[in-house]
Every structure is written in C-alpha cells, then in structure tokens.
C-alpha cells in the first residue's frame, strides 16, 4: 500500500502491525509480506487450537482431539461445494439429474469432472456474494483485513471464556477481564477490521455476561446495582470499548457507527416487539381467536418460507433455552449461538455499499465480512461439540437420557464424515495452487521468457527462470521483435530487484548503447533486457569510472612524487 500524504480511509491496523514487525526484525520488504501472511495464518490456527482445547478440557474430553479438530476446521477445511460436485460426478446420471433439479443447480454441474477443479469456484456459492473460508483466503494470498483480525477476535473470545470460568466471588478478576482487557482489545480490533468490532464489543460480551454462571450485575458497585438493570452491563462495556476505539486515533466515522448500531440493535428490539405483540394478541380478549390464530399462522408461514430462518431459527431457540437451563452445555454453545445469530442477521439486515447500490451485489460485503467471523466462531465450537460426542461414554452427565456408547459411535462416524467432506477442497486446492485456469503447461527452467500472443501469461515460467516482471506506466516500445501496447510497458528485471518508482534513479547507460541504435540494431538487446535495476544510494557501492573502455572500481591510491 502506497500513501502520498493523503488520509487513509481504510481499517489499516493489521497492515501497520505487519510493517512494524518487519521494521523491528529488520526483515527486507520483499520477504515481509509473505512472512506476515504466514504469521497471521499460524496465529489464527494456534488460537483456534488453544481455545478449543481449553473448553474441551473443562468438559473432561480430549483437549488434543478438540484442539486438532479446531485447527483442521479453521485452517484446512473448506465448505461442502467441492464434495457435492464430486458426489454428483460419481453418481450415475439417472440419480444425479434429480438432485441437480431438486437443489436448483445449473445443468453444467452434471458435466463437471475433478480435472476441471478450480479453487475459486467454492467461494461463489451464493449468488451476488462472496463466501470465503480461511483456507481459500490464506491460499489466495491477498492479505485483507478480515484475515488479520481473526487472531484478535479469537483472543477476545478467549478472554470472555476466562470470564465464563471465573467464580462469582472473584469480582476483581472478572472486572479486569471484561472491563480492563476487553475494551482496549476491541478498540484495536476496530482499526484492524471494523466489521469485527460489533462482534467483540457488543454481541459476544452480551451473550457471555447474560449466560455466564456469575451474575453480571455483581460487576458493578453496590450503589449502582439497584439503579442499573442487569441487561445494561453489556452496553456499559460497549461504551467503554467505543471510547477507547475513538481515542486510539483517527476521526470518528459517525455515519458508519450509525449503520453498525442500527445493524446490531434493530433486529433484537424488533424481534422483542414482535414477541410482545404476539403474547398480547393471544391474551387479549378484545381480539377473537378466530381472527388472531389465522393471522399468526400466516406470519409463521411467511417466516418458515424463508429457508435461512427455518434452518437456523430452531438452532437459536435451542441454544438460548439450553444456556438458560445450563444443562450439559458450556461456552461452546455461546459461540454456536453467536454464529447462528450472525448468519440470520445478514439475511434480513445489511449495510448498503454506495458502489453496489441498486444491484444484486448489495449484500456482497456484509455477507463476505460476516461469514468470515462465523467460520472463526464455529470452528472451535464444532470441534468441542464433536469431541464431547466422541467422549460421551465417559461423560454421562452430558447425555443423561441417552446411551453413551451409541452417542460415542455416532460421534466417531460424524468425525470421519466431517473430516472427509471438508478436507476434499484442500486435497485439490493445495497441489494445484498457482495454476491458473486455461494456463499452458509448465516449461522447463531454461525456457526463454516470452509473452504468449493472444493467450494467458505463464507466470510460473518467469518465477522458474529467476526473473520477475515489473509493469510501468509510460510509452510502449518495440523490444526484441515484440509489440507492446501503448501505455503498458513491461521490463524484465532480476528477482528481488525493486521496480523503478518515484525517487529512485536508473543507472547510467553504457557508452556504446547509442552507437548500436544509430547502426540500426534493436534498442533492447539481450544485455539490456537482463540489465539489473539498482538503487543508487550513498554508501551502497563504490562509484565506477571508465578506464580503457571498461568499468572498474575506483581504488584509493597514494601519490608518490
């Protein structure tokens, strides 16, 4: 990212952190990006492992199995798009065609073969949206904000889990976790990825404080407990978080804050108002049941016609009831409830982007950035849930009304199916990484660099031969018999060299170059193409001088006369 004295209209905290680490460790710029990409990926996988292992250990389940499965679900697993394609390819056409029609898939799905796999297709499942998952994001290598914020989001979840496990009597520790440590972390997360800010500032703290074993109003002093309702504790934390976030730097983005507040507050209040109106309608004697019941049935039918609400509505209701009863559930249920709430929320409310207004891409950014958080929340939660199913034979309290052996067998079968179905994408994507769709076959490392006429450029050949391509703005030129378009000039430079930019000067040309041009020889010879672009900085190298037509180093000598 290049800045020229202009204000930055982007959440840039992760990029600043990566640049700071590169400067502190004296890492060259040509290596810093790849190290930052791998570092954020490793940190997020490690955070998912540690969080799932800690939750599973509290349930007398295997911490290693839970942590390993969480690391797999976050860092290796993909969605079921590729597995579904392979199933359709393996089935006979007589069975595959009805499935294609039932799920509304295009007819081209029947003609797909594993040889046509492309890693990009699995992220465009829902029309008009982007459905990325962590493996695709880090494999694609485009270090966006949602890839850097996952580590801090999971760190905040770990702080909330520590609060969940803290006894109610340890008030000072609970205050330190939820009021002292969480607000600065959430404020910094707002600079890394603003889309994750509401999750850590409002949603997750509210659910944790509401369903934790310790009563939330005990965090407040005795004088304030009677004046402040228990539900307002989460909003008190949110106010502190917002204050820290504003003090962290930058002008307040009031328009964006209003959109975020409406996004998170509109749905709960509207839902509560609908529930209150429904209860008053059923209990009211002024409205006959012959009118009230059909009207409510029509409302329920409209809600159930929406597939997202029909699938995730019971999950939200069941999770809420289980957390209220506190029977055999733990902090993983909070994560499942939070992820399901995000999925349902973006189906009804989204932040309108000006660039996509009035198009089918209006929900693109909201779904894209929100689903990334859902994957981070559900990966450790699903790992803990499956691990508890596998350990059901030892943990009889978790499933008191069921046979522990059968539940354990079901958990093992579910574990195998989960790993096989979600790991298919990685098996196909990692070996084919770097192969572009329609690219020509790879050539040997000694192949001459060239640009294919009328076809895609094979960048793998350029990497194999040790050279890279720097694209500059400027006049086109004829070079080595190749025609380049006006305004797009390509220069071949050795790998690791810095492209020519403002403030850097090109080394002087050799003395005989102009003679070759006058003689009719091409201006860009092989020697000119392979010329190294160097930075002329003081102290980098000794100056050159001409001596009998050759460039030699100037050596210090002593004059004796």
pLDDT category at 526 given cuts 50, 70, 90 is very low
- What gap in Å lies between CA 142 and CA 139, rounded to an integer? 8
- Please write the tens of the pLDDT for every residue from 199-258: 888 888 888 888 888 888 788 777 666 655 554 554 555 555 455 445 444 455 556 555
Contact 451, 482 (CB under 8 A): yes
Q: In which region does residue 433 sit, left (phi positive, over 0), alpha (psi from -120 to 50) or beta (all else)?
A: beta
pTM of the model: 0.66
Q: Is the pLDDT of residue 21 over 60?
A: yes
Position 111 scores a pLDDT of 84
Cα atoms in the Cβ-side hemisphere of radius 13 Å centred on 182: 34
Question: Which of 29-33, 94-98, 309-313 is the least confident region?
Answer: 309-313
For residues 498-519, average pLDDT: 51
% of the chain surpassing 70 pLDDT: 54
Mapped onto helix, strand or coil, the DSSP state of residue 59 is: coil
Contact 543, 554 (CB under 8 A): yes
Give, rounded to a whole angstrom, the gap between the first and last alpha carbons of the chain.
Answer: 58
pLDDT category at 68 given cuts 50, 70, 90 is very high
Q: Residues for the chain: how many in total?
A: 561
Highest averaged pLDDT of the listed ranges 137-151, 360-374, 445-459, 515-529: 137-151
Q: Is the pLDDT of residue 553 over 70?
A: no
Task: Calculate the average pLDDT of the chain.
Answer: 71
- What gap in Å lies between CA 237 and CA 179, rounded to an integer? 6
pLDDT category at 308 given cuts 50, 70, 90 is low
pLDDT category at 20 given cuts 50, 70, 90 is very high
Position 391 scores a pLDDT of 83
Burial of 284 (0-12, 13-18, 19+ CB in 10 A): exposed
- Please write the tens of the pLDDT for every residue from 331-348: 888 898 888 888 888 877
Position 531 scores a pLDDT of 46
- Please write the tens of the pLDDT for every residue from 95-153: 888 888 877 778 888 888 888 888 888 888 888 888 899 999 999 888 889 999 999 99
Q: In which region does residue 466 sit, left (phi positive, over 0), alpha (psi from -120 to 50) or beta (all else)?
A: left
Residue by residue, DSSP assigns 369-428 as HHHHHHHHHHHHHHHHHHHHHHTTTT-TTTSTTS-HHHHHHHHHHHHHHHHHHHHHHHHH
């Amino acid at each position: 990212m290049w800045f020229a004295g202009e204000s930055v209209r982007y959440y840039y905290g992760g990029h600043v952190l990566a640049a700071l680490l590169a400067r502190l460790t004296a890492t060259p710029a040509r290596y810093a990006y790849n190290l930052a990409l791998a570092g954020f990926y490793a940190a997020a996988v490690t955070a998912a492992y540690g969080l799932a292992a800690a939750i599973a250990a509290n349930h007398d389940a295997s911490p290693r199995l839970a942590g390993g499965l969480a690391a797999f679900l976050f860092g290796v697993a993909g969605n079921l798009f590729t597995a579904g394609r392979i199933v359709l390819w393996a089935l006979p056409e007589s069975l595959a065609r009805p499935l294609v029609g039932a799920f509304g898939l295009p007819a081209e799905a029947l003609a797909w073969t594993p040889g046509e796999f492309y890693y990009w297709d699995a992220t465009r499942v829902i029309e008009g949206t982007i459905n990325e998952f962590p493996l695709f994001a880090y494999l694609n290598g485009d270090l966006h904000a949602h890839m850097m914020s996952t580590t801090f989001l999971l760190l905040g979840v770990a702080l909330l889990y520590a609060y969940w496990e803290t006894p109610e009597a340890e008030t000072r520790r609970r205050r330190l976790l939820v009021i002292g440590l969480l607000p600065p972390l959430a404020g910094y997360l707002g600079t890394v990825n603003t889309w994750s800010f509401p999750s850590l500032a409002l949603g997750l703290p509210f659910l944790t404080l509401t369903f934790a074993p310790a009563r939330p109003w005990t965090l407040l002093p005795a004088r304030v407990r009677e004046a402040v309702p228990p539900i307002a504790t989460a909003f008190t934390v949110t106010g502190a978080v917002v204050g820290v976030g504003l003090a962290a730097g930058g002008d307040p983005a009031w328009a964006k804050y209003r959109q975020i507040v409406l996004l998170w507050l509109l749905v709960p209040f509207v839902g509560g108002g609908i529930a209150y109106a429904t209860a008053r309608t059923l209990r009211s004697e002024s409205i006959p049941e012959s009118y009230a019941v059909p009207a409510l049935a029509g409302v329920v039918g409209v809600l159930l016609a929406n597939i997202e609400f029909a699938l995730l509505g019971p999950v939200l209701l069941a999770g809420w009831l289980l957390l209220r009863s506190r029977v055999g559930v733990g902090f993983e249920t909070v994560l499942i409830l939070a992820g399901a709430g995000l999925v349902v929320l973006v189906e009804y409310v989204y932040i309108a982007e000006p660039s996509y207004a009035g198009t089918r891409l209006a929900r693109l950014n909201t779904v894209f950035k929100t689903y990334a958080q859902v994957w981070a929340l559900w990966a450790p939660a699903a790992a803990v849930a499956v691990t508890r199913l596998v350990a059901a034979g030892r943990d009889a309290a978790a499933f008191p009304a069921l046979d522990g052996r059968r539940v354990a067998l079901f958990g093992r079968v579910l574990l195998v199916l989960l790993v096989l179905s979600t790991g298919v994408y990685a098996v196909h994507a990692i070996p084919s990484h770097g192969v572009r769709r329609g690219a020509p076959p790879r050539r040997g490392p000694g192949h001459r660099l060239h640009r294919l006429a009328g076809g895609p450029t094979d960048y793998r050949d350029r990497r194999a031969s040790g050279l890279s391509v720097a694209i500059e703005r400027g006049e086109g030129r004829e070079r080595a018999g190749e025609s380049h378009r006006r305004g797009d000039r390509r220069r071949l430079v050795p790998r690791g060299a810095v492209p020519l930019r403002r403030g850097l000067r090109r080394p002087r040309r050799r003395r005989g170059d102009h003679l070759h041009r006058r003689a009719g020889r091409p201006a860009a010879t092989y020697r000119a193409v392979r010329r190294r672009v160097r930075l002329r900085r003081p102290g980098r190298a000794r100056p050159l001088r001409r001596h009998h037509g050759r460039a030699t180093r100037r050596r210090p000598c002593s004059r004796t006369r």
